[in-house]
């Protein structure tokens, strides 16, 4: 499920440092090596293969994945194809999306020699552990999780997979005995479920699973270019609402040129009253490393229409090398297959050991 040095919660106005839950850390408040417990450091995160990632995915998650990798942590990243079928998928398109997502992750900087990168469905123990954990979860708890409430609608008409996928998500994490999980703020409650299931399992069968801690990214959330009050999303029908990692420089410039702002021409940062312009400033900040205050100061006197071209230049400079590498990797299926096979072998080595232990603890063997 990233970068200027401020905690995601605080820059988005959610919580102060003292209000953060105990299972959440901010990248600028704590380092992983500074925490003390008996479990070895291991990081797990996954991303669904639902199309080409957009700039919000990159700045909010994938860039952080690379940072964690380069810091030398034991990192495991998965293309979580099993999660993607909680909504209808065309099989041929899903196969393409798995390759595309793998190419995107590699182009963004995930190194299969430093990280484990694999396809979730290649490791059967994810589903097997999910069943055992599901037997310890309650329907009442799952009904209160945000994804079910949002996606099932007022009549709760979603499928069983949508209802239970947070349990599979918990299994993804616990199967590798992950100690830290990079997530967005919208996934905090799902991480809490994984924590609770680990606690419940340990209570019944003895201390085995570590308590996973959430790592919240430092980049402020990226909003839709067409509806700046809403988060940028791959599911939004209007392609002008987002910047995909494979967009050409010309397309990026055109999308930013037509980004919704307001009638005030000055470049200022005020998310409450000027969400459109503030979104552009956030994107500019994340692409350059400059603070929002520095950007507004540097662009004082520039009209918003001209400022969009400045933002476009910064975005193109950041994304065009990634785009070029994605396009190259998309034409090398044999290499992508080899990366996923290698990653699945490494992931399976860990998963088989964990599930063998779990079977003995539960009484299956």
CB neighbourhood size of 309 (10 A): 12
Tokens describing residue 126: 């994810």
Task: Please state, in angstroms and as integers, the Cα–Cα distance from residue 172 to each residue in 79, 220, 355, following that order.
Answer: 11, 26, 12
| Cα 289 versus chain centre, distance | 20
**One of 6, 114, 227, 231 is an active-site residue; which one?**
231
| Cα 27 versus chain centre, distance | 15
353 is catalytic: no
**One of 151, 227, 346, 359 is an active-site residue; which one?**
151
255 is catalytic: no
Side-chain-facing half-sphere of 95: CA atoms under 13 Å: 4
Q: What is the largest CA-CA distance in the chain?
A: 72
Tokens describing residue 242: 């987002």
234 is catalytic: yes
* Cα separation, 318 vs 322, whole angstroms: 8
CB neighbourhood size of 250 (10 A): 10
**One of 6, 227, 234, 359 is an active-site residue; which one?**
234
Q: Which helix (H) or strand (E) holds 271?
A: none
Are 133 and 167 contacting, i.e. CB atoms less than 8 angstroms apart? yes
Give the DSSP per-residue string, 200-265. HHHHHH-S-S---EEEE-SSPPPBPSS-TTSB--TT-S-GGG--BTT--HHHHHHHHHT----S--
The strand order across the sheet containing 180-183 reads: 24-26, 213-216, 180-183, 43-47, 75-79, 115-119
Are 80 and 120 contacting, i.e. CB atoms less than 8 angstroms apart? yes
Active site residue ranges:
151, 231, 234
């Amino acid at each position: 499920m990233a970068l200027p040095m401020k905690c995601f919660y605080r820059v988005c106005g959610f919580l102060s440092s003292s209000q953060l839950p105990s299972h959440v850390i901010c990248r600028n408040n704590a380092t992983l090596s500074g925490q003390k417990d008996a479990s070895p450091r291991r990081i797990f995160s996954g991303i669904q293969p639902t199309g080409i990632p957009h700039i919000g995915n990159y700045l909010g998650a994938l860039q952080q994945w690379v940072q964690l990798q380069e810091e030398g942590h034991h990192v495991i990243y998965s293309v979580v194809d099993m999660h993607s079928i909680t909504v209808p998928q065309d099989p041929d398109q899903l196969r393409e999306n798995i390759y595309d997502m793998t190419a995107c992750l590699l182009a963004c900087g995930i190194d299969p020699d430093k990280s484990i990168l694999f396809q979730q469905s290649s490791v059967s123990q994810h589903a097997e552990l999910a069943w055992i954990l599901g037997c310890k979860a309650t329907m009442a708890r799952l009904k209160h999780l945000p994804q079910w409430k949002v996606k099932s609608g007022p009549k709760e008409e979603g499928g069983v997979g949508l209802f239970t996928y947070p349990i599979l998500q918990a299994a993804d994490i616990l199967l590798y005995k992950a100690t830290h999980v990079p997530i967005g703020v919208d996934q905090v409650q799902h991480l809490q479920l994984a924590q609770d299931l680990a606690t419940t399992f340990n209570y019944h069968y003895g201390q085995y699973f570590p308590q996973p801690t959430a790592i919240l990214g430092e980049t402020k959330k990226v909003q839709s270019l067409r509806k700046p009050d809403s988060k940028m999303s791959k599911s939004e029908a209007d392609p002008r609402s987002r910047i995909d990692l494979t967009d050409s420089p010309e397309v990026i410039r055109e999308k930013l040129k037509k980004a919704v702002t307001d009638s005030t021409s000055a470049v200022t940062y005020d998310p409450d009253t000027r969400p459109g312009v503030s979104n552009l400033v956030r994107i500019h900040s994340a692409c350059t490393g400059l603070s929002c205050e520095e950007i507004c100061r540097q662009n004082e006197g520039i009209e918003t229409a001209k400022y969009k071209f400045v933002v476009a230049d910064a975005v193109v400079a950041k994304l065009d090398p990634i785009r070029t590498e994605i396009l190259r990797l998309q034409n090398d299926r044999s290499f992508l297959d080899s990366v996923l096979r290698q990653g699945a072998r490494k992931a399976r080595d860990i998963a088989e050991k964990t599930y063998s232990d779990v079977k003995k603890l539960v009484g299956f063997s």
